[in-house]
């Protein structure tokens, strides 16, 4: 009996692309488009939230921007790759648009999928490892129907101005924060991890790590900031990697 092929998947989160990118961000976008071309070689691409620094789905129009990224994702889908989108606190409102354009499931805050022999829970991860009153209040607002109705009553430029302010809060985790983040991750796995899954992959923290406690394993992709981090599932094994390292290139080469 032939051995069953294990699916290959890529995971990325927290690129925080702006509607009006500056020159430094244009370089990150160029690298992201190369990453999307690399994704043509896998079966699954997971976008784990905050890909866009601001997105709002108005009933009759969409704010201008992100066209190169959206076309890149069109090409990923045309290559036969299944795209999964989990909205983050900056782009939760993109879920319906991604469902219509890319066939993504309307995923709630987390979802469990089976890829080969591995049960994977995917989540953006905001609010998971700690409680902050101000942030959790904002998170509740953007994720409930009342918040959406309120936002639709505002002029788009007001929401855009708010997004510019909010984007200033997004940054990579400082080195001195890394051990504390990982400590909280182990506490969460020990005290609160429940359900039929083997591996949870998340974003949000802007720090990559991979920890295990008992039967549960939690990995966070570091974000498409500095470094340009992503996750790879291949042959049943998950690992964190940094672009432009290309796992599909010939030995000694990278993506160009």
CATH number for 9-242 (one of 3.10.129.10, 3.60.21.10, 3.40.50.10210, 3.10.310.10): it is: 3.60.21.10
Q: Where are the domains of the chain?
A: 9-242
Per-residue pLDDT, 58? 64
As given in the structure block, the two tokens for residue 100 are 């219509």
Q: What is the mean pLDDT of each run of 10 residues along the chain (256 residues)?
A: 74 92 92 97 96 76 84 98 91 86 82 93 86 49 57 59 57 76 94 91 94 96 94 96 90 60
Cα separation, 27 vs 30, whole angstroms:
5
For 96-161, the three-class secondary structure string (H helix, E strand, C coil) is HHHHHHHCCCCCCCEEEEEECCEEEEEECCCCCCCCCHHHHHHHHHHCCHHHHHHHHCCCHHHHHH
Per-residue pLDDT, 215? 92
Partner residues linked to 241 by β-bridges: 230
Cα separation, 204 vs 223, whole angstroms:
8
Per-residue pLDDT, 7? 95
- In 3D, which of 241, 236, 12 has the Cα closest to residue 122? 12
As given in the structure block, the two tokens for residue 121 are 């829970």
Per-residue pLDDT, 2? 44
Reported as a single tens digit per residue, the pLDDT across 173-208 is 676 789 999 999 999 999 988 888 999 999 999 999
């Amino acid at each position: 009996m032939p051995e069953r092929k294990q699916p290959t998947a890529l995971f990325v989160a927290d690129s925080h692309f702006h509607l009006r990118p500056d020159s430094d961000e244009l370089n990150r976008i160029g690298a992201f488009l190369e990453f999307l071309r690399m994704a043509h070689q896998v079966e699954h691409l997971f976008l784990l939230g905050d890909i866009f620094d601001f997105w709002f789905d108005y009933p009759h129009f969409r704010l201008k921007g992100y066209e190169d990224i959206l076309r890149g994702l069109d090409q990923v889908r045309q290559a036969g790759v299944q795209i999964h989108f989990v909205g983050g606190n900056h782009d939760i409102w993109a879920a319906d648009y991604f469902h219509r354009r890319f066939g993504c499931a309307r995923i709630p805050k987390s979802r469990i999928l089976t890829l080969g022999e591995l049960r994977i829970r995917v989540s953006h991860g905001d609010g998971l490892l700690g409680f902050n009153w101000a942030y959790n209040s904002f998170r509740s607002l953007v994720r409930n129907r009342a918040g959406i109705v309120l936002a639709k009553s505002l002029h788009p430029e007001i929401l855009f101005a708010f997004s510019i302010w909010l984007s200033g809060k997004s940054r990579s985790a400082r080195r001195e924060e890394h051990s504390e983040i990982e400590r909280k991750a182990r506490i969460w796995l020990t005290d609160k991890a429940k359900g039929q899954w083997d591996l949870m992959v998340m974003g949000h923290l802007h720090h990559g790590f991979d920890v295990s406690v008992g039967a549960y394993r939690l990995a966070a992709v570091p974000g498409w900031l500095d470094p340009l981090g992503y996750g790879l599932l291949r042959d049943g094994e998950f690992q964190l990697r940094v672009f432009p390292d290309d796992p599909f290139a010939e030995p000694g080469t990278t993506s160009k």
